[in-house]
């Protein structure tokens, strides 16, 4: 515990003390403030995405809310509470060469070596979405690809499906369709995986 607190202290703004940090973490975990079932910390170091994050967060919350789970997406601060069920979402221009992916891959969840991170390859997603998307379509598309990768990260044994959220390939039609449902097998795998996280 002490080690973790000290490490976090290095990331804290000037003037913060370990004690102040411990107090704020304690407050965040206090009864009455229900923690989400899973936190997604968004990192976009090159500012590739100019879509309102709230719109992406809303659709992600809706997809997993249908399964009775609260999944909260917010900008990562580097100060996420230790012990939280947390995945980092990292927005990148292109996949790491060593992943050896095709040019149309929009999201990646490394099985090994990636820590608890999923990657969104936004230029590929824009390509699938096509030129001049309508208002709100980019947020929907980002949310669907993100939700797909989150299921991979939480339930790594769950295979791709023929269609729906866990379909291996997405076309524009699927990225922007109005209502997006999760099939029961995928839902069960996700809920089990989340419990075990
Ligand atoms: Zn996949």
Indicate whether 76 and 110 sit together in one domain: yes
Indicate whether 85 and 125 sit together in one domain: yes
Average pLDDT score over residue span 79-86:
75
Say what percent of the chain tops pLDDT 70. 80
Indicate whether 161 and 119 sit together in one domain: yes
**137-163 pLDDT, tens per residue?**
999 999 999 999 999 999 999 999 888
19 pLDDT more than 50: no
Alpha-carbon distance 119 to 47, whole Å?
Answer: 14
CA of 158 to the centre of ligand 1 (A): 10
CA of 28 to the centre of ligand 1 (A): 33
Q: What is the pLDDT of residue 133?
A: 86
- Domain span including residue 66: 36-196
Indicate whether 161 and 70 sit together in one domain: yes
Q: Indicate the average pLDDT of the chain.
A: 81
* Tokens found for residue 3: 């080690």
CA of 117 to the centre of ligand 1 (A): 14
Indicate whether 29 and 43 sit together in one domain: no
Average pLDDT score over residue span 74-84:
79
CA of 94 to the centre of ligand 1 (A): 17
CA of 25 to the centre of ligand 1 (A): 34
Indicate whether 120 and 144 sit together in one domain: yes
Alpha-carbon distance 146 to 55, whole Å?
Answer: 13
Indicate whether 82 and 178 sit together in one domain: yes
Indicate whether 52 and 8 sit together in one domain: no
Alpha-carbon distance 87 to 150, whole Å?
Answer: 8
Return the half-sphere exposure (C-beta side, CA atoms, 13 A cut-off) of residue 33: 7
CA of 84 to the centre of ligand 1 (A): 24
The gap between the terminal CA atoms of the chain, to the nearest Å, is 20
Indicate whether 41 and 25 sit together in one domain: no
CA of 148 to the centre of ligand 1 (A): 6
| Number of domains the chain contains | 2
73 pLDDT more than 90: yes
CA of 107 to the centre of ligand 1 (A): 7
30 pLDDT more than 70: no
CA of 13 to the centre of ligand 1 (A): 38
Indicate whether 77 and 131 sit together in one domain: yes
CATH number at residue 178: 3.40.390.10
* Tokens found for residue 153: 């990260």
CA of 166 to the centre of ligand 1 (A): 6
Indicate whether 145 and 78 sit together in one domain: yes
Using the 8-state DSSP alphabet, how is residue 36 labeled?
A: P
Collapsing DSSP states into helix, strand and coil, what is residue 119?
A: strand
Compare 39 and 98 and report the one with higher pLDDT: 39
136 pLDDT more than 60: yes
Indicate whether 52 and 103 sit together in one domain: yes
Average pLDDT score over residue span 99-116:
78
């Amino acid at each position: 515990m002490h080690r973790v607190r000290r490490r976090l202290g290095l990331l804290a703004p000037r003037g913060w003390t370990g004690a102040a940090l411990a107090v704020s973490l304690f407050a965040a975990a206090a009864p009455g403030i229900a923690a989400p079932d899973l936190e997604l910390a968004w990192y976009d170091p090159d500012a590739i995405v100019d879509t309102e994050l709230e719109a992406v967060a809303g659709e992600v919350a809706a997809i997993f809310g249908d399964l009775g789970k609260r999944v909260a997406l917010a900008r990562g601060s580097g100060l996420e509470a230790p012990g939280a069920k947390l995945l980092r979402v990292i927005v990148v221009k292109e996949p790491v060469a060593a992943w050896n992916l095709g040019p149309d891959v929009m999201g990646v969840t490394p099985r090994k070596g990636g820590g608890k991170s999923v990657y969104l390859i936004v230029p590929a997603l824009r390509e699938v979405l096509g030129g001049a998307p309508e208002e709100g379509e980019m947020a929907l598309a980002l949310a669907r690809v993100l939700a797909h990768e989150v299921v991979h990260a939480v339930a790594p044994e769950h295979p791709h499906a023929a269609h729906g959220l866990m379909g291996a390939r997405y076309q524009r039609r699927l990225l922007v369709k109005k209502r997006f449902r999760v099939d029961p097998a995928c839902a069960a795998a996700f809920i089990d995986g989340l419990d075990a996280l």
